[in-house]
Amino acid sequence: MTLPASGARRHDGVDSVIRVMTVDDHPIYRDGLAALLSVYPDLHLVAEAEDGAKGVELYRQHKPDVTLMDMSMPIMQGVEAIRAIRSEFVDARIIALSTYEGDSDIHRALEAGASGYLLKGALRSEVADAIRLVHRGVRVVPSIVAQRLAEFTPRIELTEREREVLALMAKGMRNKEIATIIGRTEATVKAHVIHILDKLGADDRTAAVTLALKRGIIHLGE
């Protein structure tokens, strides 16, 4: 949605206004962000998108100063949308918004090019301050997010195949079932499971799945 240049969501008479775009698939949350921005004279909402693909399209049209990007959306996820925008606009400043606190989720967003990572439960003033800081070129990582990153340092990354096996393990599948789904031998799956347990420092499959869900390596429903 493209917003008018003036109206209820803009406060005039401000010398320096930060132009903001929001990308989120939940209308109620988008409305909440719009209401939040309307409180601050220096923040002006220029566009809203309901999915990542639309967010990329509207970014090209408006080139906002700062974008608030949800991480979990249909059609195109937030990480893919961030990568797409940053591949065209290297100076794009994007704040990832998520309900996920896992260090893997945070790393994916930052590595895609996000300038900050905020949990959706952040206070109104925290969101406004984050927008201002990111606009100035400062990376925003709140203390709760930084603590989660520090908790799992050094970082050990699972391969895409290991994440696929782990996601199937989370669904309660045994090695033989997983082997059939991914088109590999049962011995190969067993080797993947061993590597997964070793990398995560888990004693068994249940512990590995629990830790992976906590860290955001996998999510229920994948």
Q: Tell me the three state secondary structure of residue 14.
A: coil
Question: Regarding the domain delimited by 18-151, which CATH topology (the fold level of the hierarchy) does it fall under?
Answer: Rossmann fold (3.40.50)
Residues 6+ apart with CB under 8 A from 148: 101, 102, 103, 106
Rounded-to-integer distance, Cα 116 and Cα 112, Å: 11
- The predicted-structure confidence for 75-119, as pLDDT tens digits, reads as follows 899 999 999 999 999 999 999 998 876 777 788 888 899 999 998
Residue-wise pLDDT for 208-217, tens only, equals 888 888 777 8
CATH classification of 160-215, choosing from 3.30.70.260, 1.10.10.10, 2.160.20.10, 3.40.50.1860?
A: 1.10.10.10
Q: Structural domain boundaries of the chain?
A: 18-151, 160-215
Q: Rounded to the nearest 5 degrees, what angle is found at the Cα of 70, between the Cα atoms of 69 and 74?
A: 120
The model's pTM:
0.69
Residue 48: which H helix or E strand, with range?
strand 43-49
| Residue 13 backbone zone (phi > 0: left; psi -120 to 50: alpha; other: beta) | left
